[in-house]
Structure formats: C-alpha cells, structure tokens
Chains A and B, each alone.
Chain A
Amino acid sequence: MNNPSLFSPLPKESVHQVEKARPSLNFWQDGWSRLRCNKIAMVGLFMILLISLFSFLGPFLVPYTYEKTDLTNTFLSPTWQHWFGTDELGRDVLVRVMWGGRISLAVGLVASFINLVIGVIYGGVSGYFGGKVDEFMMRIVDIIYSIPILLIVILLMVILKPGLANIFLALGISYWVGMARIVRGQILSLKEQEFALAAKMLGATNLQVLFKHLLPNTIGPITVSVTLMIPNAIFFEAFLSFIGLGVSAPMASWGVLASDGIRAIRAYPYLLFFPAFFICLTMLSFNFLGDGLRDAFDPRLRK
C-alpha cells in the first residue's frame, strides 16, 4: 500500500479545491455592487453627473456670458437663440442657470466638506475619549442642536456681509452638529471592539487608533449623511438668496434666479421655471442617491 506509484499528481486545474464563493470585495466595491442594482439611486447619480456637466462645461459651449446685457432683447421667451429666454436686462437665462448651478453645487459641496471635517473630528474626539470630555463636548452640541440651524445661519449672514465665501462659512460652521452626533455614536461602539484594542497593544497612539482604525469604519454612515447634507445646503443657499442674504449681482445662484423669477411670475413664468426645475431636480437626485447609499452601506436597514 505504501507504493508511491499508486499516487499520481492531480491535474493542475483541480488543485484549488477550496474555491472562493465570490471574489473578496473591499468596502467601496461591496457598496458599489449593491448600489448598482438600485435603479433609482443610479438614476440619481446619473442626473447629478449630467447637472454637473451642464453647470461646469455648459458655459463654454454657449455664446453668451452671465453678465452680458442686451437691452434690445429683454424678456424674450425661449427661442432657438436663447433656449431658456432672456431676463429683464436681456441676459441669456440658459447661461445664467449654468452659472447658478456652479454656485449652488459649489455651496453644497464646500459647505458639506467643512461640515464633514469639523463633524468627524469633533465627533471622533468626543466619542473616543469619552467620559468628562464627551459629556462636555456633547452638551455644547445639544445647545447648538436646540437652535434651528436656519436661525444661526441667518444671524451669521446678517453680521457677515452677503457673499459666496460667507455663505460657505455660515453654512459650514452651523451644520456639523448632526455629523458629530453620528460619528460619536459610531466611535463609541467601535472603540470597544477587539481590533481597536489590538491596535493599541501594538503601540498605536490615540490619534492613530482614532484616525487610522476607527474612523475608516464609520465611512458608510458618513457618506450617506454627506450626500443628504448637500441638497440641504443647496436649499439653504436658495433660502438665503431669497431673503436677500445670498450672492450679489451680476452673479446669480439658482436661489437668486428663482427669487427674481417669482417677482415676474405672472408675466414671465419661464424665468422661475428653469431655475426652479434645476433646484428640484438636483435635490431630488441627491435624495435618490442618499437613500440608495444608505441601503447599500447598511443592508440591515433594507426592507
């Protein structure tokens, strides 16, 4: 029985008997594969890409500029020359809507980014160090949380001068509270897990454990929260423009265009229609995408 000739090497193909059921995926690939199946979320993503292209590349393709007035062609209804018509100074509405998109999207992205940075650091530190530090930091958050964000933003904008940079600032420093709470909650449970202990035993400093090991695990909820924060920021910017605290002429965000349009609603409804359409479409798309991301990153929430 010990005769080696009874044994023969297996053909090469069958060596890997333990086949992987499916390729190993990292966090993003996994989320993406689930997101891809969600048609509504993909529509949202696609629309966001289209709107971004429209806003950022569009102005190069149109033979008008946002501040060029043409007093012989005021209040033109949409035509082949002016797809979206012209406004009271004969400015092309199409190119103004494109520029408005740049501003509105920029406000959404920058404000969310500032929130992200402040919220993640604040929430991370509070959750990780816990105890008295946590207690104190969360009391501050509670206080800010009990004041409507819009009132804070309005107060800030009244004191700062209206302008794009100040809108970034006002939205950025008042909106991080929600993010801080989310991150803190995540960190509180994550820091008790073994991998955090292991990292510490290997000599990682507190900051390394927090930023290299714990925060990367909170990326799902953070992504969802940022995606849902962007439409909020866009809405707030429109709101501010509407009450006269937005960007100033000749630049115009969607909010400014819409509030100008409202004044002329009876005679020239198209002046309101186009900016309003783009605001709604953008907010809808981000909400679609945000809901989809939530399902993709947190399958427990799925029905």
Chain B
Amino acid sequence: MTLAVFLARKVFYILIVIFTVATLTFIMAHAIPGGPFTREKPLPPAVKKNIEARYNLDKPVLHQYGDYLKNLIKLDLGPSFRYESLTVNDIIRQKFPISAILGLVAILIALLFGLIAGTISALYPHRWQDSLFMFLALLGVSIPSFILATFLMYAVGFKLGWFPVAGWGTPAHIILPAFTLAAYPMAFIAKTIRTNMLEVLSQDYIKVARSKGLPERTVLTRHAIKNAILPVITYLGPLVASIFTGSFLVESIFAIPGLGKYFVSSIYDRDYTVILGVTLFYCVLLVWLNFLVDISYSFVDPRIRIVKQNE
C-alpha cells in the first residue's frame, strides 16, 4: 500500500467521522424542545409561519438536513440562538485565538516539565527525586482542574500576589491558567517518560554509547531521549483534547474571554446553536489534529512505517 492510498483512506475515514458528528448534532438540535421563535408570548400563527418560511423551517426535516450539510460544507455554522447580531462563526473567530494561545502555552509547559521530571525520575529510580516527582504526578492526575485553579488563584494570586488573580491581557495573566491546564497532561507525560526512559536506559545501545566513553549528558540527549519521547507523540492528540475541554473550566474560573468560557456561558444560556456549533468545531479540529499526529508519528519513527502499520 502506498502512502497516497493510506492518506486517502485516512481522510475518507475522517470525513465519515465529521459527517457522523454533524448528523448527531443535527438530530440533537431537533430533539431539543422549543424552537428559535418560541417566545413567552406566542407569535400570531401567520407571522410565525412567515418567519419559518424565511428560514426554511417549514420544509421537511430531510430538506432542512440537506441545507444544514450544505452550510457546513461552506463552513457556515449558522446564527446564534440568543444574540441577534452574532453568528457562530463570528464567535469562534473572535474567541478561539485566545483559547489557542492559552492552550499552546499549556502544551509547551506540559511537554517541557513533563519531560524534565520524567527524565530525572528515570535517572534516579526509587531515590528521593523519583519519589518526589512521581508523588507530584499522582497529585496531578488526582486533583480536579477546577480545584487546582481555585487553589492557585487563592494561594499564588490572592495571598502571595505573584500573578494577577484573573483576567486576560498581559503575559503574566497566562501563567496560572496555563499551569492549571498543563497539570494533568504534565503528570501523565512525566509518568510515561519515566517508564520509557527506564526501559531505554537498559538497552544494549545505551551500554554501547556509555562504553564508548560518551559523557552521560550526550548519552541522554543524543541516544536515550529520542526513543523515550516517541510514545509521547501518540499522546499529543488526547493531550490537545484534554487541554481544550479543560479550558472550559479554567477559562471560566480565571475569567479569560476565550471560546471555552463562552461555551460554558452558552450552556447556562441554553444557546443551542452555539453549543452544537462549537462542539462540532472542536470535534473537527481534534480529528484533523489526530490525523496530523498519526502521520508525523510514522515520519519521526523510522521503525514504524505507515505501510507496516496497516498490514
């Protein structure tokens, strides 16, 4: 099987996923009681009919479904349920860059510190460095993000006053929320790196590198880390997912005007088109990111070639 066939297959599969999610959101939108023109004071039937005709709501469901898919292909997620002048596209365009910056910083923190902590733990197995980092990692996976967020806000932001408690605008505002978001993936990466590193360090080629007289630092950076870090690449997909879903809470708590906070407030407002549109947006984004991760994995690791993987 050639690379092109492999890619085509993958893309086809992704389109199926997107199509399924889109269909599900459409069904859900219709399962929700009440319509966009449901008011406390009912509209006169004739007016209602006119409005529905304007928006094609009087057509059969299948026809509406077709329209919906056509709009999706044009990347049009429709208007907000609550705010007349906003479309879901506007909201995503305005709010997502903020979430993306926050997420990116969090991913970098998670990768950097996870890598360092995991490597140190593996270099000193069962010594105090290892115990300390693994204990922290255990805390990292056990403390829910909203509790960590509030704790950091209260202790570091409010009591110590090192960072702004909440808000957005300066680089200092990013630190606490990014760290909160990074806590879980950081812990996970540290654990993974430790396990892999221990395994890699016991391999023969590391012994060879050492017996050649290479300094320990070179053995680590040139020989060991490359192989120990590979499984982390497969984790990048779930990592991004956890950062995005985590940002719902973290942005709400730290009052960051990103897409996550908007998403949560649209849940409170029952702004259905926004909820469904943003969900769809996140799903599509994640599916493509996973696709990129899959491809990059086979390029990074020469031992795994796409063709082999799929036999």
Which A residues form the contact surface with B (CB < 8 A)? 142-143, 146-148, 150-151, 154-155, 158-159, 231, 235, 238-239, 242-245, 258-259, 262, 265-266, 269, 272, 276, 279-280, 283-284, 287-288, 303
Contact = CB atoms under 8 A, between A and B. Distances in A.
A245 B20 contact: no
A243 B142 contact: no
Given A148-B283, A242-B146, 4 more contacts: A148-B282, A159-B28, A235-B144, A243-B267
16 contacts: A146-B286, A148-B242, A148-B244, A148-B283, A154-B275, A155-B24, A155-B28, A158-B32, A158-B275, A238-B146, A245-B267, A276-B151, A280-B142, A280-B143, A283-B141, A303-B198
B158 A284 contact: no
Contact of B268 (A146, A159, A244, A262): A244
Nearest to B237: A146
Interface string B132-168: 0000001101111011001101100010000000000
Interface residues of B, number: 46
B287 interface: yes
A158 B144 contact: no
A148 B31 contact: no
B16 A158 contact: no
Nearest to A160: B31
A276 B147 contact: yes
Contacts of A279: 144, 147
Contacts, number: 99
B275 A155 contact: yes
A231 B184 CA distance: 14
Contacts of B283: 146-148, 151
Which 5 A-B pairs rank lowest in CB-CB distance, beginning with the nearest? A284-B142, A283-B142, A150-B245, A276-B147, A148-B241
Interface in B191-229: 198
A235 B144 CA distance: 7
Contacts of A146: 17, 283, 286-287, 290
Contact of B279 (A142, A154, A259, A262): A154
B179 interface: no
A148 B245 contact: yes
Nearest to A262: B150
Given A158-B267, A243-B264, A272 B275 contact: no
Contacts of A243: 248-249, 252, 264, 267-268
